[in-house]
Amino acid sequence: MKRISNIFAVLAVFVLLLTACGPAATTVAPATSVPPVVVPPTAVPAVPTNTLAPTLKVGEVTDFGGVDDKSFNALGWKGVTDAIAQLGVSGKFLESNVQSDYAKNIQQMLSENMDLIITVGFNLGIDTAIAAKANPNTKFAIVDYTFPDCWPGAVEGTDCASATELPNVRGLTFQTDEAAFLAGYLAAGMTTTGKVATFGGIAYPSVTIFMKGFEAGVKYYNQKHNTTVAIIGWDNATTTGLFTGNFSSTDDGKSFATSLVQEGADIIMPVAGPVGLGSAAYCQTSAKCLIIGVDTDWFVSANEYASVLLSSVQKKVDVAVFKAIQDAVNGTFTGGTDNATLASGGLDLAPFHNFDSQVPQTLKDEIAQVKADIISGAVTVDGVLATP
């Protein structure tokens, strides 16, 4: 009996030794110690990817013309895609084709819990204000608009957008007359016919401000050189000018350019989004005119017309949009107005590219000095226009 007990004791010890030497089934490395594996996409997506976890959801609602309009819609989306790549945010856009799309697209962005909604263009002012007031915890930024915008007797929400500043909305505005001033000076210095021209899409303030600055630049050149270069298409004294009534018809761009050349203009600045590409096409096929682009550097965004692109008035919407997103990421976003100027670097006259050797150095030096004088305040658009 004693021998049997000893055998059982030996067996018990043997089992314990086996258990001690075996794997510990309950010991599991913490899940957080193993980083997740990120599988790269097999195709390049339309929206840039990043290796950062999205910290902010950004949506853009475009105006007419679409996100690839080579103008302010496209620049707004570039600001978003730059933020996707550099700041780790997520982003999407919705295109507006008719006016009723504005409110619908903004509401769609709200339903998707966007943290920051970018609305692009003067037309979206009222719908942006209505949505911002109803959703005070959502941040908004709107291109080419600022609040308050109402006047005595105006009906808020119908005639105007808001009688008060909206703390959750940042207006992104641009003193584009400053950069257009440089374009007008350039055009006056380069014309061979003594006539230059401009026209707009629709007479919105964000359009006519280009035309006003262009006229001022031509006038300042005349004052400096005792010349009589004429401008066709805009008269700031009467605030009247030429407008196609749309921002989409390239056929209108061709017909306007044709008429302006027939009147003697050899340099044209269209302020009409894709309409202006029709003007560039006419200048290219006819070899009778040069184009000054607007918003983007057209040598980059519309390089197919490089042979007739003298320069462009750059309105850096992408920079302003990126900054708004960056502030939202950093927790420093505020409402109010962010107004871009030559001094802030939010505007500029693009390089002359293919025409660099044809622009006299003396004219380049003068333009550089005019830019410095505008930045310092020694020269102003209104001051020049007010001079007889």
Using CA atoms, how far apart are residues 382 and 363, in angstroms rounded to an integer? Answer: 23
> Do 57-174 and 176-315+357-386 show the same overall fold?
yes
- 293 and 54 Cβ atoms separated by less than 8 Å: no
Average pLDDT per 10 consecutive residues for the chain, totaling 388 residues: 38 36 36 37 45 77 91 95 97 96 98 98 96 98 97 96 97 98 98 98 96 98 98 97 96 98 98 96 98 97 97 97 98 97 97 98 98 98 95
**Counts for the chain of helices (H) and strands (E), in that order:** 12, 14
Cα–Cα distance, 188 to 217 (Å, whole number): 8
Span 250-301, pLDDT tens digits:
999 999 999 999 999 999 999 999 999 999 999 999 999 999 999 999 999 9
Look up residue 243 and give its DSSP letter.
Answer: B
CB atoms within 10 A of CB 232: 18
Return the structure tokens found at 138. 């959502």
Q: Which amino acid, one-letter code, is at 234?
A: W
Tell me the domain boundaries of the chain.
Answer: 57-174, 176-315+357-386
What is the CATH code of the structural domain delimited by 57-174?
Answer: 3.40.50.2300
CATH topology of domain 176-315+357-386: Rossmann fold (3.40.50)
Maximum pairwise Cα distance, the chain: 131
Which pLDDT value is given to residue 364? 98
- 305 in Cβ contact with 326 (< 8 Å): no
Quote the Cα angle for 384-291-203, to 5°: 60
Name the residue with tokens 């871009």.
340
The pLDDT of residue 13 is 33
Q: Which of 18, 203, 301, 89 is nearest to 79 (CA)?
A: 89
